[in-house]
Chain A
Amino acid sequence: QKEVEQDPGPLSVPEGAIVSLNCTYSNSAFQYFMWYRQYSRKGPELLMYTYSSGNKEDGRFTAQVDKSSKYISLFIRDSQPSDSATYLCAMINDYKLSFGAGTTVTVRA
């Protein structure tokens, strides 16, 4: 069993829809939770970063962490074609990052 599970998709939504992404994990020692966005031929770009259960909002992006269920989510409101990318969840134990497989998202104009 992988430490971090993420459905690779692909996920296709119309412009303006809400994109919902999620990951589950098995290691209760994970301390920090992140979402990265990766465009083709680019490195991962940090979108959201949190270390506690609950919600964190930044513009159109909302990250949720439920440590009791070992479940994290990312919601993208009013999605735009420019949001088309691969979204990677990542978690840290000590200083080591463990990544999910990444979900490829396409927002159709």
Chain B
Amino acid sequence: SAVISQKPSRDICQRGTSLTIQCQVDSQVTMMFWYRQQPGQSLTLIATANQGSEATYESGFVIDKFPISRPNLTFSTLTVSNMSPEDSSIYLCSVATGADDQPQHFGDGTRLSIL
């Protein structure tokens, strides 16, 4: 399976600031995704990062709050903008490999705390 690296692994940020999270894969992949895992909860899909076009966002998530870039087939960024304490979560990148672009594999995530 692909090796997925996320940076930073954790951060503590001030309210109102923004943070950009990077996801690097060691091979070209078609599909990359961003998830949020709130404390003690399961994973929720934020958006699909599309190479060469705008990301596809899930209900409840908007581009102004979570802008995403996908400049090539091995890299994507997620920015969490104008952060509030409610944004304190783990943010995870996943990639789809194999036939039919399945299954998905995950990075170790970025643990974000907002003060």
Contacts and interface: CB of A to CB of B under 8 A. Distances in A.
Contact of B103 (A34, A42, A99, A102): A34
Interface string B1-20: 10010000000000000000
Interface of B: 1, 4, 31, 33, 41-45, 48, 58, 92, 94, 96, 101-109, 111
A99 B42 contact: yes
Given A95-B31, A99-B42, A43 B101 contact: no
A84 B56 CA distance: 35
Nearest to A45: B106
Contacts of B33: 97
Contacts of B92: 43-44
A84 B84 CA distance: 33
A42 B45 CA distance: 17
Interface of A: 32, 34, 36, 41-46, 49, 88, 92, 95-97, 99-102
Contacts of A97: 33, 43, 45, 94, 104
A92 B43 contact: no
Given A88-B43, A96-B45, A46 B107 contact: no
Given A42-B108, A88-B43, A97-B94, 18 more contacts: A32-B102, A34-B103, A34-B104, A36-B106, A41-B111, A43-B4, A43-B92, A43-B109, A46-B1, A46-B104, A88-B42, A92-B102, A95-B101, A97-B33, A97-B104, A99-B44, A101-B41, A101-B42
B108 A43 contact: yes
A42 B10 CA distance: 12
A38 B103 CA distance: 16
B47 to A, nearest CB: 11
Contacts of B43: 44, 88, 97, 99
Given A43-B92, A101-B42, A95 B109 contact: no
Contacts of B58: 96
B2 to A, nearest CB: 11
A43 B107 contact: yes
